Amino acid sequence: MARSTVRPHSETTRGTPVRSQLRTFLRTSDGVTIDAVYDPGAVVYDASRTPAAHPVFVVAHGFTGAVDRPHVRRVARAFTRHGAVVTFSFRGHGASGGRSTVGDREVLDLAAAVRWARELGHARVGTVGFSMG
């Protein structure tokens, strides 16, 4: 028989301070503004260590997706158990500027997201993409 237990948030974070999401617009090398969200993944953070000690996952959605789509948020939430997460909307999607090139110039959007992850202090960056991403 399976059992589930509901625990207060304070028990599941083990005293680690909860760090809030950051949302911003990034600029790609060709000048397009990209909507992006950073979730530091509170469970993995030890306040005595810098972000460089923790991995960050950059999640790239598929065609017609966006940073706020439920499936993208679910994937991001799953990865926060293992590290920080950067999600973003490709050009022409969500609140990002520009027009979609169906994968041709979107590599510049991904590069901007990876650059932001590194600027936030992460040394280990992994990318995860779906379909066009």
Among 5-19, 81-95, 98-112, where is mean pLDDT lowest?
Answer: 5-19
Which residues have CB under 8 Å from 128's CB, separation 6+?
A: 57, 58, 59, 60, 75, 79
Among 45-54, 66-75, 97-106, where is mean pLDDT lowest?
Answer: 45-54
User: Are the CB atoms for 95 and 24 separated by under 8 Å?
Assistant: no
> Does 97 or 10 have the greater pLDDT score?
97
pLDDT at 54: 85
Domains along the chain with CATH numbers: 19-129 (3.40.50.1820)
Q: What are phi and psi of 43, to 5 degrees?
A: -65, -35
* DSSP, residue by residue, 94-125: TT--S---TTSSHHHHHHHHHHHHHHTT-S-E
| Residue corresponding to tokens 């926060």 | 80
Percent of the chain at pLDDT exceeding 90? 67
Q: Tens digit of pLDDT for each residue in 1-51? A: 444 334 343 344 444 444 688 999 999 999 999 999 999 986 555 666 676
Strand pairing partners for 23?
A: 37
Cα–Cα distance between 18 and 63 in angstroms, integer? 32
Residue 120 has pLDDT above 60, yes or no: yes
pLDDT at 42: 65
Cα–Cα distance between 24 and 33 in angstroms, integer? 10
pLDDT at 130: 87
Tell me the average pLDDT across 100-115: 95
Question: What is the pTM for the complete model shown?
Answer: 0.80
Pairing type for strands 56-60 and 22-27 reads: unpaired
